[in-house]
């Protein structure tokens, strides 16, 4: 599949935005912190669409595994055995789902795709978390507890941010074509 220079630039910017989102840590009463990766993932899905957003999430994961320290707790290949790596893997699929929302003609409709993407991230992430914890620490943490644990305050915060960033994404998406057109006019 051939990508234009413009598409590659968009993908690189989306990838960088995910990296920035991982570094923006907000204290949490449940976990030590949560990051803005998921809201930023929703934003790039809405602004860039499913194809470019999926590439950006995949590139983000590959870059982190290659050693770029832009995951919330660093980077490197051994990150795959960290309990939270499942959230990063889920971003690839969630980017596609959120990107489908970019095709909706109203942010209210796109919010359904964004919420579905966010729920997918939480479910997949918690199932992976449970698998790693049970496999490597011998814990008796159950999958049922993991799924119940999804209903933490962090989950609800992510859902609110998901809807908010969907609306922001629609505003940004409307502004981009006019900004691009003005830039090209100035070049001529």
According to the model, what pLDDT value does residue 106 have? 85
Name the helix (H) or strand (E) containing 27: strand 25-27
Q: Which two tokens stand for residue 80?
A: 């795959």
CB neighbour class for 88 (10 Å; exposed up to 12, middle 13-18, buried from 19):
buried
- Which residue would you say has higher pLDDT here, 19 or 31? 19
For residue 152, name the pLDDT band (cuts at 50, 70, 90): confident
- Which residue would you say has higher pLDDT here, 33 or 113? 113
The predicted model gives 7-32 an average pLDDT of 87
pLDDT at 49 over 80: yes
According to the model, what pLDDT value does residue 145 have? 77
pLDDT at 185 over 60: no
Q: How far apart are CA 141 and CA 128, in angstroms?
A: 12
Q: Identify which of 117, 35, 131, 121 has the alpha carbon closest to the alpha carbon of residue 81.
A: 131
Q: Per mean pLDDT, which of 107-111, 162-166, 177-181 is the most reliable?
A: 162-166
Q: Identify which of 56, 52, 45 has the alpha carbon closest to the alpha carbon of residue 101.
A: 45
Note the pTM of the prediction, 2 decimals.
Answer: 0.86
For all residues of the chain together, what is the average pLDDT? 87
For residue 143, name the pLDDT band (cuts at 50, 70, 90): confident
Please name the residue that has the structure tokens 């920035």: 20
Q: How far apart are CA 187 and CA 13, in angstroms?
A: 22
Q: How far apart are CA 152 and CA 137, in angstroms?
A: 23
The model's pLDDT over 54-83, given as tens digits with 9 standing for 90+, comes to 999 999 999 999 999 988 888 899 999 998
Q: Alpha-carbon torsion 109, 113, 114, 118, what sign?
A: positive
For residue 178, name the pLDDT band (cuts at 50, 70, 90): low
Phi-psi region of 138 (alpha: psi -120 to 50; beta: other; left: phi over 0): left
pLDDT at 12 over 80: yes
Q: How far apart are CA 85 and CA 80, in angstroms?
A: 6
């Amino acid at each position: 599949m051939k990508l234009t220079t413009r598409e590659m630039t968009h993908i690189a910017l989306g990838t960088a935005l995910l990296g920035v989102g991982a570094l923006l840590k907000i204290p949490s009463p449940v976990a030590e912190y949560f990051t803005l990766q998921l809201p930023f993932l929703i934003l790039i899905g809405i602004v860039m669409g499913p194809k470019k957003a999926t590439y950006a999430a995949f590139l983000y994961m590959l870059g982190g595994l290659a050693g770029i320290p832009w995951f919330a707790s660093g980077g490197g290949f051994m990150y795959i055995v960290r309990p939270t790596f499942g959230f990063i893997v889920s971003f690839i699929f969630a980017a596609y789902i959120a990107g489908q929302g970019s095709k909706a003609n109203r942010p209210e409709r796109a919010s359904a795709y964004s919420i579905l993407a966010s729920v997918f991230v939480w479910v997949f992430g918690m199932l992976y978390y449970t698998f790693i914890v049970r496999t490597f620490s011998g814990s008796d943490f159950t999958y049922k507890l993991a799924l119940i644990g999804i209903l933490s305050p962090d989950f609800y915060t992510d859902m609110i941010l998901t809807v908010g960033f969907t609306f922001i994404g629609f505003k940004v998406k409307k502004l981009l074509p006019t900004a691009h057109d003005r830039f090209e006019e100035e070049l001529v």
